[in-house]
Amino acid sequence: MAETHHFDASKLFSVKGFVAVITGGGTGIGLMAAQALAANGAKVYITGRRMEALENAAKTHDPVHSLGGEIIPIGPCDVTKKEDLQRLVTDLGKKEKYINLLMCNAGVAGPKAEPKHENAEDLKAALWDNESVEEWQNTFNVDVTSVYFTTVAFLPLLQAGVKPNGPLEAFAPSVITTSSMSGIMRHAQGHFSYNTAKGATVHLTKLMSSEFQKANIRVNSIAPGYFPSEMTAKSSDDRQKSHVAPEKIQEKGHVPLMRSGRDEEMGMTVLYLAKNQYVNGEIIAVDGGVLNVLAGR
Protein backbone atom coordinates (compact mmCIF):
# COMPACT_ATOMS: atom_id res chain seq x y z
CA MET A 1 0.00 0.00 0.00
CA ALA A 2 1.38 3.37 -1.00
CA GLU A 3 1.71 6.15 1.52
CA THR A 4 0.94 9.66 0.31
CA HIS A 5 4.60 10.63 0.04
CA HIS A 6 5.08 7.82 -2.48
CA PHE A 7 3.13 9.94 -4.97
CA ASP A 8 5.70 12.74 -4.97
CA ALA A 9 6.32 13.46 -8.68
CA SER A 10 10.07 13.60 -8.11
CA LYS A 11 9.88 9.98 -6.95
CA LEU A 12 7.29 8.77 -9.44
CA PHE A 13 9.28 9.97 -12.43
CA SER A 14 12.85 9.85 -11.20
CA VAL A 15 15.11 7.87 -13.50
CA LYS A 16 18.21 8.38 -11.41
CA GLY A 17 20.55 5.46 -12.07
CA PHE A 18 18.93 4.59 -15.40
CA VAL A 19 21.05 3.99 -18.49
CA ALA A 20 19.21 4.83 -21.71
CA VAL A 21 19.96 4.67 -25.44
CA ILE A 22 18.12 6.78 -28.01
CA THR A 23 18.52 6.42 -31.77
CA GLY A 24 18.01 9.62 -33.72
CA GLY A 25 18.76 11.35 -30.43
CA GLY A 26 20.47 14.47 -31.74
CA THR A 27 17.39 16.38 -32.88
CA GLY A 28 13.62 16.55 -32.61
CA ILE A 29 11.72 14.04 -30.49
CA GLY A 30 14.84 12.02 -29.74
CA LEU A 31 16.53 15.04 -28.20
CA MET A 32 13.38 15.94 -26.25
CA ALA A 33 13.42 12.44 -24.78
CA ALA A 34 17.11 12.67 -23.96
CA GLN A 35 16.61 15.97 -22.16
CA ALA A 36 13.67 14.67 -20.13
CA LEU A 37 15.52 11.55 -19.03
CA ALA A 38 18.80 13.32 -18.28
CA ALA A 39 17.04 16.09 -16.34
CA ASN A 40 15.64 13.42 -14.06
CA GLY A 41 18.88 11.58 -13.40
CA ALA A 42 19.46 9.19 -16.31
CA LYS A 43 22.66 8.62 -18.22
CA VAL A 44 21.48 8.93 -21.81
CA TYR A 45 23.47 7.77 -24.82
CA ILE A 46 22.30 9.39 -28.05
CA THR A 47 23.24 7.98 -31.42
CA GLY A 48 22.66 8.65 -35.11
CA ARG A 49 24.48 9.09 -38.39
CA ARG A 50 25.78 12.63 -37.77
CA MET A 51 28.32 12.80 -34.94
CA GLU A 52 28.55 16.57 -35.18
CA ALA A 53 24.83 16.91 -34.47
CA LEU A 54 25.03 14.44 -31.59
CA GLU A 55 28.00 16.17 -30.02
CA ASN A 56 26.37 19.59 -30.35
CA ALA A 57 23.14 18.31 -28.82
CA ALA A 58 25.01 16.84 -25.86
CA LYS A 59 27.08 19.98 -25.38
CA THR A 60 24.15 22.41 -25.49
CA HIS A 61 21.56 20.39 -23.55
CA ASP A 62 23.49 18.37 -20.97
CA PRO A 63 21.85 19.04 -17.56
CA VAL A 64 23.79 20.66 -14.74
CA HIS A 65 22.34 19.71 -11.37
CA SER A 66 22.67 17.27 -8.50
CA LEU A 67 20.68 14.37 -9.98
CA GLY A 68 23.68 13.28 -12.02
CA GLY A 69 21.98 12.84 -15.38
CA GLU A 70 23.97 13.36 -18.56
CA ILE A 71 23.66 13.18 -22.35
CA ILE A 72 26.48 11.30 -24.08
CA PRO A 73 27.00 11.04 -27.86
CA ILE A 74 27.98 7.61 -29.20
CA GLY A 75 28.40 6.41 -32.77
CA PRO A 76 28.00 7.18 -35.56
CA CYS A 77 25.41 4.50 -36.29
CA ASP A 78 23.26 3.83 -39.32
CA VAL A 79 20.36 1.85 -37.85
CA THR A 80 19.64 0.21 -41.22
CA LYS A 81 22.96 -1.66 -41.04
CA LYS A 82 23.30 -4.67 -38.76
CA GLU A 83 27.05 -4.22 -38.54
CA ASP A 84 26.59 -0.67 -37.24
CA LEU A 85 24.06 -1.84 -34.67
CA GLN A 86 26.30 -4.65 -33.46
CA ARG A 87 29.26 -2.28 -33.21
CA LEU A 88 27.11 0.12 -31.18
CA VAL A 89 26.06 -2.65 -28.80
CA THR A 90 29.65 -3.84 -28.45
CA ASP A 91 30.98 -0.32 -27.79
CA LEU A 92 28.24 0.38 -25.28
CA GLY A 93 28.82 -2.98 -23.59
CA LYS A 94 32.38 -1.87 -22.84
CA LYS A 95 31.02 1.18 -20.99
CA GLU A 96 27.88 -0.21 -19.32
CA LYS A 97 26.87 -3.59 -17.91
CA TYR A 98 23.22 -3.03 -18.79
CA ILE A 99 20.69 -0.53 -20.10
CA ASN A 100 17.25 0.16 -18.67
CA LEU A 101 15.67 1.89 -21.64
CA LEU A 102 16.00 1.79 -25.41
CA MET A 103 14.15 4.34 -27.54
CA CYS A 104 13.97 3.46 -31.23
CA ASN A 105 13.35 6.92 -32.60
CA ALA A 106 15.26 7.22 -35.89
CA GLY A 107 12.94 7.73 -38.86
CA VAL A 108 12.42 9.33 -42.26
CA ALA A 109 9.39 10.98 -43.87
CA GLY A 110 9.52 9.24 -47.24
CA PRO A 111 8.16 10.54 -50.56
CA LYS A 112 5.11 12.79 -50.80
CA ALA A 113 2.38 12.61 -53.43
CA GLU A 114 -1.05 14.14 -52.92
CA PRO A 115 -4.03 11.91 -53.89
CA LYS A 116 -6.24 14.92 -54.57
CA HIS A 117 -7.62 14.05 -58.01
CA GLU A 118 -11.00 12.44 -58.65
CA ASN A 119 -10.16 11.37 -62.19
CA ALA A 120 -8.37 8.02 -62.02
CA GLU A 121 -5.89 8.85 -64.78
CA ASP A 122 -4.87 12.07 -63.00
CA LEU A 123 -4.78 10.26 -59.67
CA LYS A 124 -2.51 7.58 -61.06
CA ALA A 125 -0.19 10.15 -62.62
CA ALA A 126 0.14 12.11 -59.38
CA LEU A 127 1.08 9.02 -57.40
CA TRP A 128 2.94 6.97 -60.02
CA ASP A 129 5.18 9.81 -61.19
CA ASN A 130 6.06 11.21 -57.75
CA GLU A 131 6.93 8.05 -55.84
CA SER A 132 9.37 5.23 -56.49
CA VAL A 133 9.66 1.68 -55.24
CA GLU A 134 13.11 2.51 -53.91
CA GLU A 135 11.73 5.40 -51.83
CA TRP A 136 9.05 3.15 -50.37
CA GLN A 137 11.61 0.49 -49.53
CA ASN A 138 13.89 3.02 -47.86
CA THR A 139 11.01 4.38 -45.77
CA PHE A 140 10.16 0.88 -44.56
CA ASN A 141 13.81 0.05 -43.99
CA VAL A 142 14.34 3.03 -41.67
CA ASP A 143 10.91 3.31 -40.02
CA VAL A 144 10.10 -0.37 -39.50
CA THR A 145 12.92 -2.83 -40.20
CA SER A 146 15.52 -0.87 -38.25
CA VAL A 147 13.20 -0.66 -35.23
CA TYR A 148 13.05 -4.45 -35.14
CA PHE A 149 16.78 -5.07 -35.54
CA THR A 150 17.74 -2.28 -33.14
CA THR A 151 15.54 -3.79 -30.46
CA VAL A 152 16.80 -7.32 -31.10
CA ALA A 153 20.42 -6.14 -30.97
CA PHE A 154 19.91 -4.62 -27.51
CA LEU A 155 17.90 -7.45 -25.92
CA PRO A 156 20.84 -8.88 -23.90
CA LEU A 157 21.84 -5.47 -22.51
CA LEU A 158 18.20 -4.73 -21.66
CA GLN A 159 17.72 -8.02 -19.83
CA ALA A 160 20.99 -7.46 -17.98
CA GLY A 161 19.29 -4.48 -16.30
CA VAL A 162 17.17 -6.83 -14.21
CA LYS A 163 18.56 -8.11 -10.90
CA PRO A 164 20.88 -9.76 -10.09
CA ASN A 165 22.90 -7.94 -12.76
CA GLY A 166 21.25 -4.54 -12.57
CA PRO A 167 20.52 -2.42 -9.49
CA LEU A 168 16.75 -2.06 -9.87
CA GLU A 169 14.65 -4.56 -7.95
CA ALA A 170 11.93 -6.22 -10.05
CA PHE A 171 12.24 -3.57 -12.72
CA ALA A 172 11.38 -4.57 -16.27
CA PRO A 173 13.62 -2.84 -18.81
CA SER A 174 11.71 -0.88 -21.41
CA VAL A 175 11.70 -0.23 -25.14
CA ILE A 176 9.90 2.80 -26.55
CA THR A 177 9.31 2.98 -30.29
CA THR A 178 8.42 6.21 -32.02
CA SER A 179 5.48 5.49 -34.29
CA SER A 180 3.07 8.27 -35.28
CA MET A 181 -0.55 9.34 -35.26
CA SER A 182 -0.07 8.87 -39.02
CA GLY A 183 0.10 5.13 -38.46
CA ILE A 184 -3.34 5.13 -36.85
CA MET A 185 -5.38 7.51 -39.04
CA ARG A 186 -6.99 6.82 -42.41
CA HIS A 187 -6.00 10.18 -43.92
CA ALA A 188 -2.94 9.65 -46.15
CA GLN A 189 -1.68 13.24 -45.80
CA GLY A 190 0.07 12.70 -49.12
CA HIS A 191 2.40 10.26 -47.35
CA PHE A 192 1.23 6.77 -48.26
CA SER A 193 4.64 5.20 -47.60
CA TYR A 194 5.24 7.00 -44.28
CA ASN A 195 1.75 6.38 -42.91
CA THR A 196 1.86 2.73 -43.96
CA ALA A 197 5.31 2.28 -42.41
CA LYS A 198 4.21 3.87 -39.15
CA GLY A 199 1.18 1.59 -39.13
CA ALA A 200 3.61 -1.30 -39.40
CA THR A 201 5.65 0.16 -36.52
CA VAL A 202 2.49 0.21 -34.40
CA HIS A 203 1.86 -3.47 -35.05
CA LEU A 204 5.54 -4.39 -34.66
CA THR A 205 5.45 -2.77 -31.22
CA LYS A 206 2.52 -4.97 -30.23
CA LEU A 207 4.25 -8.09 -31.54
CA MET A 208 7.47 -7.34 -29.68
CA SER A 209 5.64 -6.46 -26.47
CA SER A 210 3.97 -9.86 -26.48
CA GLU A 211 6.96 -11.92 -27.53
CA PHE A 212 9.61 -10.17 -25.44
CA GLN A 213 7.71 -10.08 -22.15
CA LYS A 214 9.04 -13.62 -21.55
CA ALA A 215 12.45 -11.91 -21.25
CA ASN A 216 10.92 -9.38 -18.79
CA ILE A 217 11.21 -6.56 -21.36
CA ARG A 218 8.33 -4.14 -21.91
CA VAL A 219 7.70 -2.54 -25.32
CA ASN A 220 5.44 0.47 -25.87
CA SER A 221 5.11 3.16 -28.51
CA ILE A 222 4.60 6.91 -28.61
CA ALA A 223 2.51 8.03 -31.57
CA PRO A 224 3.31 11.75 -31.87
CA GLY A 225 1.31 14.38 -33.68
CA TYR A 226 2.99 17.55 -34.94
CA PHE A 227 6.11 18.12 -32.86
CA PRO A 228 8.94 20.43 -33.97
CA SER A 229 11.70 18.40 -35.59
CA GLU A 230 13.84 18.38 -38.69
CA MET A 231 11.16 16.19 -40.28
CA THR A 232 8.35 18.69 -39.69
CA ALA A 233 10.27 21.97 -39.77
CA LYS A 234 12.91 20.89 -42.34
CA SER A 235 15.71 22.44 -40.27
CA SER A 236 17.12 22.97 -36.78
CA ASP A 237 19.00 25.78 -35.10
CA ASP A 238 22.48 25.92 -33.60
CA ARG A 239 21.22 24.03 -30.53
CA GLN A 240 19.67 21.24 -32.66
CA LYS A 241 16.16 22.55 -31.97
CA SER A 242 13.40 23.10 -34.53
CA HIS A 243 10.40 25.43 -34.59
CA VAL A 244 6.98 25.14 -36.20
CA ALA A 245 4.92 28.34 -36.27
CA PRO A 246 1.36 28.03 -34.91
CA GLU A 247 0.05 29.38 -38.21
CA LYS A 248 1.48 26.35 -40.04
CA ILE A 249 -0.42 24.04 -37.72
CA GLN A 250 -3.59 26.10 -37.90
CA GLU A 251 -3.51 25.90 -41.71
CA LYS A 252 -3.96 22.13 -41.47
CA GLY A 253 -7.44 22.58 -40.02
CA HIS A 254 -7.48 19.37 -37.98
CA VAL A 255 -5.46 20.17 -34.85
CA PRO A 256 -7.82 21.17 -32.02
CA LEU A 257 -5.05 22.78 -29.93
CA MET A 258 -3.96 24.80 -32.99
CA ARG A 259 -0.26 24.46 -32.19
CA SER A 260 2.53 21.92 -32.32
CA GLY A 261 3.38 19.76 -29.34
CA ARG A 262 5.76 21.14 -26.75
CA ASP A 263 9.05 19.53 -25.77
CA GLU A 264 7.84 19.09 -22.19
CA GLU A 265 4.70 17.27 -23.36
CA MET A 266 6.82 14.72 -25.14
CA GLY A 267 9.15 14.48 -22.14
CA MET A 268 6.23 13.70 -19.81
CA THR A 269 5.19 10.80 -22.02
CA VAL A 270 8.70 9.35 -22.21
CA LEU A 271 9.06 9.43 -18.42
CA TYR A 272 5.65 7.82 -17.96
CA LEU A 273 6.46 4.89 -20.25
CA ALA A 274 9.96 4.54 -18.80
CA LYS A 275 8.68 4.24 -15.24
CA ASN A 276 5.20 2.70 -15.27
CA GLN A 277 5.78 -1.05 -14.99
CA TYR A 278 2.11 -1.86 -15.49
CA VAL A 279 2.09 -0.56 -19.07
CA ASN A 280 3.10 -2.95 -21.85
CA GLY A 281 2.10 -3.13 -25.51
CA GLU A 282 0.41 0.28 -25.55
CA ILE A 283 0.39 2.90 -28.30
CA ILE A 284 0.15 6.34 -26.67
CA ALA A 285 -1.02 9.04 -29.08
CA VAL A 286 0.29 12.51 -28.16
CA ASP A 287 -1.37 14.46 -30.94
CA GLY A 288 -3.28 17.45 -29.58
CA GLY A 289 -6.58 15.74 -30.39
CA VAL A 290 -5.98 15.17 -34.11
CA LEU A 291 -7.30 11.59 -33.97
CA ASN A 292 -10.57 12.96 -32.59
CA VAL A 293 -10.95 14.87 -35.85
CA LEU A 294 -9.47 12.51 -38.44
CA ALA A 295 -10.74 8.97 -38.66
CA GLY A 296 -8.62 6.31 -37.03
CA ARG A 297 -8.89 2.57 -37.33
Tell me what pLDDT residue 66 has. 65
pLDDT in tens, 3-56: 999 999 999 999 999 999 999 999 999 999 999 999 999 999 999 999 999 999
Catalytic residue chosen out of the listed positions 98, 146, 180, 198: 198
The yes-or-no verdict on residue 67 having pLDDT over 90 is no
The question of whether 163 is a catalytic residue gets the answer no
pLDDT in tens, 74-118: 999 999 999 999 999 999 999 999 999 999 999 999 999 999 999
Please give the Cα distance from 230 to 106 (Å, whole number). Answer: 12
pLDDT category of residue 119 using cuts at 50, 70 and 90: very high
pLDDT category of residue 235 using cuts at 50, 70 and 90: confident
Catalytic residue chosen out of the listed positions 146, 179, 236, 242: 179
Catalytic residue chosen out of the listed positions 43, 45, 174, 194: 194
The question of whether 43 is a catalytic residue gets the answer no
Q: Which residues have CB under 8 Å from 64's CB, separation 6+?
A: none
The question of whether 272 is a catalytic residue gets the answer no
Among 177, 118, 117, CA closest to 152: 177
Question: Domains plus CATH for the chain?
Answer: 4-289 (3.40.50.720)
Tell me what pLDDT residue 167 has. 52
The yes-or-no verdict on residue 168 having pLDDT over 70 is no
Tell me what pLDDT residue 232 has. 80
pLDDT category of residue 69 using cuts at 50, 70 and 90: very high
pLDDT category of residue 165 using cuts at 50, 70 and 90: low
